Structure 1
Amino acid sequence: MLEFDRYFAEFETETARLATLAHDTDSRRPIPTCPGWTMEQLVGHVGRGHRWAAEIIRLRLLEPIPMQEVVVPGDPDERSAWLTEGARMLADAVRAAGPEQPVWTWQRDRTAGFWLRRMFHDEVVHRFDAELALGIEGSLAADLAVDGVSDVLDTAAILSMPNIGVPSGFAGLAGSGEALQFVATDPELGASGEWSVTRSPAGITWQHGHRQADVTVRGPAVHLLLLLNRRLSAETADVEITGDPDLFAHWWTNSKF
């Protein structure tokens, strides 16, 4: 994890980037990496998530609440302002409560700070969705991409558990000891850019560092992030796969949000 001051600053930056894209793009523009969605629906998803998490934190809730339906403003200026307002509500709620405030989450981390980190990474991926739809080659600092990879592996670890109690597109990741290694090739990262993943009957587990693996996927951290979030495929991402390619293909097929 990063320092929370960094999350606050980067969350504001990401929101500004997505708000600009939302302002300058036809709300009916299809988002190919989110099949069936338009730009309006993408913005609605992000803004609704901000407001939902903000309410959980503001009320110090220890149980989940339903997500409310939202109406995304049609006017471009209002649409961008609406998105920015939701992000500000979430950031302000975390600041007021403190990142360590206990609240409900669906992860092992049951703190307000979880929601800032989770919604930041959710917004990063959806900003890439918007850019990919427009043919823009987006960018992200390598350390933020590394944190995003860890975040999506945390998600996979929870959603691959067989007794989670809700339908999950990650259930097929449970296995019998198969090992995968993800390696970020950005030269400045070192050991923080390596993830060792093991599939077990109880779901997947992961840790930083290098271990012998059945398949290894190497590439820039941002490409690993987009690959694990299914925004790029093994064919379109700038990655090298060595070992058993079928094992990674199985992972990719069975990691659907």
Structure 2
Amino acid sequence: MLDFDRYFLELEAETASLARLARDADGQRPIPTCPDWTLEQLVGHVGRGHRWAAEIIRQRLLEPIPMQEVDVPADPDERSDWLMAGARMLADAVRVVGPEQPVWTWQKDRSAGFWLRRLLHDEVVHRFDAELALGIKGDLAADLAADGVSDLLETAATLSRPDIGVSSAFVNLAGAGESLQFAATDADLGSNREWSVVRSPAGVTWRNGRGRADVEVRGPALHLLLLLNRRLSVETADVEIIGDQELFAQWWSNSTF
């Protein structure tokens, strides 16, 4: 993980980037990487998530609450402001209670800080969704991209458990001991540049570092992030795959929310 000051800064920056797109682009622009969504609907998804998590944190809730439907402003300037306001609600809620405050989450990390990190990485991916739809080549700091890979693998570990009780494609990632290695080729990432993953009958487990691997996927952290989030394909991600290509293809096809 990164420190929480960094997460606060990156949430503000990511929301500002998406807000600019929400203001300057056609709200009805289709988002190919989120089928059936328009840009306006994507912005609505992000903004509702901010507000929902902020309410859980503000009330220090230990049980989930329904996500309320909120109308996204049609006016581009208002839409942009609405998105920024939701991110401020989330950040302010975490600051008030503190990142370690126990609250309900859907992962083993039951803290307010979980929501700051999780929704930041959700927004990073959706910012790329919007940019890909608009033909914009986006960028991201390598250490934030690497942290996003870890976040995605923790999601896979949670949603691949057969006992989780949630309908998800991730349950098909449970396996019989197959192993995968992901490696970021960026300089200066230290121990956060490699991820060792095992598919067991109880679901996915992972750790930072190297391990035995039936297949290894190597490339810049951002490319790994977008590939693992299915925003790029094997053909477009510019990564190197060494070993059992079919094993990674099966992982990729069963890692959708």
* Shorter-normalised TM range: over 0.9
- 1:153 alignment counterpart: 153
- 1:71 alignment counterpart: 71
Residue 211 of structure 1: how far off its partner (Å): 1.3
Q: Report the residue type matching 1:79 in the other structure.
A: R
Q: Report the residue type matching 2:25 in the other structure.
A: T
Q: Report the residue type matching 1:92 in the other structure.
A: D
Q: Is 1:92–2:92 an aligned residue pair? A: yes
Deviations 1:119-146 (A, max 9, x none): 1000000000000001111000000000
Q: CA separation in 1, counterparts of 2:120 and 2:181?
A: 25
1:22-171, aligned counterparts within 5 Å?
22-171=22-171
Q: Is 1:190–2:185 an aligned residue pair? A: no
- Note the residue ranges of structure 1 that are not aligned, 5 or more in a row: none
Q: Report the residue type matching 1:87 in the other structure.
A: A
Deviations 1:192-215 (A, max 9, x none): 110000000000000000112000
Q: Report the residue type matching 2:140 in the other structure.
A: L
SS in 2 for 1:183: strand
Q: CA separation in 2, counterparts of 1:8 and 1:254?
A: 31
Q: CA separation in 2, counterparts of 1:143 and 1:209?
A: 15
Moved more, 182-191 or 67-76: 182-191
Q: CA separation in 2, counterparts of 1:66 and 1:87?
A: 19
- 2:15 alignment counterpart: 15
Q: Report the residue type matching 2:198 in the other structure.
A: T
SS in 2 for 1:145: helix
Residue 180 of structure 1: how far off its partner (Å): 0.1
Q: CA separation in 1, counterparts of 2:206 and 2:39?
A: 34
- 1:255 alignment counterpart: 255
Q: Is 1:208–2:208 an aligned residue pair? A: yes
- Note the residue ranges of structure 2 that are not aligned, 5 or more in a row: none
Residue 189 of structure 1: how far off its partner (Å): 1.5
SS in 2 for 1:170: helix
Q: CA separation in 2, counterparts of 1:232 and 1:136?
A: 14
Q: CA separation in 1, counterparts of 2:138 and 2:256?
A: 22
Residue 190 of structure 1: how far off its partner (Å): 3.2
The runs of at least 4 aligned residues of structure 1 exceeding 3 Å deviation read: none
Deviations 1:172-192 (A, max 9, x none): 000000000000000222331
- 2:242 alignment counterpart: 242
Q: CA separation in 1, counterparts of 2:161 and 2:200?
A: 9
CA-atom RMSD in angstroms = 0.5
1:170-181, aligned counterparts within 5 Å?
170-181=170-181
Q: CA separation in 2, counterparts of 1:256 and 1:116?
A: 21
Q: CA separation in 2, counterparts of 1:250 and 1:203?
A: 15
Q: For this pair of structures, how many residues does the alignment match?
A: 257
Deviations 1:206-245 (A, max 9, x none): 0000112000000000000001100001111010001000
Q: Report the residue type matching 2:173 in the other structure.
A: L
Q: CA separation in 1, counterparts of 2:33 and 2:130?
A: 9
Q: CA separation in 2, counterparts of 1:55 and 1:104?
A: 11
Residue 15 of structure 1: how far off its partner (Å): 0.5
- 1:229 alignment counterpart: 229
Alignment TM-score, normalising by the size of structure 1: 0.99
